[in-house]
Amino acid sequence: MRKYTLIILFTIGCLSVFGQQQGLYTNYFLNDYYFNPAIAGSKGVSIASFSYKNQWVGFEGAPKTIMGNVSGSIKNEGKMGYGVTIISDNIGLTNNLSILLTYAHHIKINEKLKLGLGVQTGYLQNRVKLYDTKLADLDDDVFSGNVLTENGIDFNWGFNLYSEKYYFMGAVNHLFIDKLSIASYNQRLEKNYNVIGGYKFNFEKQKIEIEPSIMVQYVKGSPTNVTTLLKTTYNKTYWLGISYNNSEKIGIGLGYLMNERLSLGYAYDLSLSGLNSYHSGSHEISISYIITHKKPSFEEEDEKLNNSIMDEMKKKLKQK
């Protein structure tokens, strides 16, 4: 009986630590705020997002992640950003809940380049459903009818250097775990580091935008995770993304922007390793909605005015 108890405790420990480390999304450009708090407010609008990821379909107790957040720019000015995030991770017997608040400040470096700095703090909870544990000794009441709950406090920080054509950002999650050992759950977390960079190539005549990007994630004690992604957008409405992860995994994503406000995305991951014979891949669904309109810049207003004048002149010439 003791042998099985030790195995279960070891498994629970591994799952709970894994569950609160940063997740991996194929469509990470749709969930960029999840990876970096400095994203909040950079788009000059308020956005509500929801995502669901079901990993390793076919494995019993495989990870399932539900995330909802609202982030945006105060007064739509693109200077001060805010955000609220709720994340629920379910892995086997464990459930990890995160409730996080974000503030970001954006500095204009020159006419094209801005720097965003963001901080995030919140509450973490780890719950283990011990009553669902399958034991060899059914009379063992150590786990019977119990739910193990641990609480923690989280601090994250990030920077975001960006323009209309390119971006380079980095973030650290679980920043002060060594200073917050008073919280039981913090003692079993590790700092998460991630860096994301990308460039946008615009082909205006063809109405096509091609965006290659890369994300690097590192957690102490784990292999460095590298994901490359190539996203192609047509007419600012339809997009197709193809990704490759160094853990021998490929992904494909599809998306559609409706009425310039509602964005729908779907992605499918498939393992290229020997694990693909044990599961049928991972599915990811993303939905986002722009709550507020972006305040147009002086250049955008000037271009709009010039276009309206040109349209009016064309109409008069046709009438003649």
Q: Give the DSSP letter string of 299-318.
A: HHHHHHHHHHHHHHHHHHHH
The pLDDT value given to residue 142: 52
How much is the pTM?
Answer: 0.79
Residue 243 Cα distances to 51, 152, 232, 283, 320, angstroms: 18, 34, 12, 14, 55
Give me the domain span that covers residue 90: 2-319
Do the bridges between strand 64-73 and strand 80-91 make them parallel or antiparallel, or are there none, so unpaired? antiparallel
> How would you write the pLDDT of the chain (320 residues) with one tens digit per residue?
443 443 344 344 444 344 345 666 766 777 788 999 999 999 888 999 999 998 877 777 788 999 999 999 988 888 999 999 999 998 888 889 999 999 999 999 998 999 999 999 999 898 887 665 555 555 555 555 577 888 888 899 999 999 999 999 999 998 887 766 556 676 678 889 999 999 999 999 999 999 999 999 999 888 899 999 999 999 999 999 999 999 888 999 999 999 889 999 999 988 887 666 666 788 999 999 999 866 555 555 566 666 666 667 766 666 66
The domain total for the chain is 1
CATH code of residue 244 = 2.40.160.40
Three-class DSSP category at 64: strand
Tell me if 68 sits within 8 A of 31, measured CB to CB.
Answer: no
- Which residues sit opposite 73 in a β-bridge? 81
Tokens found for residue 209? 């935008």
Each as own residue / partner, the long-range contacts of residues 278-281 (CB below 8 Å, 24 or more positions apart, any chain) are 278/56, 278/58, 278/59, 279/56, 279/57, 279/58, 279/59, 279/62, 280/57, 280/58, 281/56, 281/57
Task: Kindly list the distances between the CA atom of residue 261 and the CA atoms of 30, 46, 73, 226, 237, in Å, as whole numbers in the listed order.
Answer: 13, 11, 16, 31, 10
CA angle 220, 221, 224 (to 5 degrees): 70
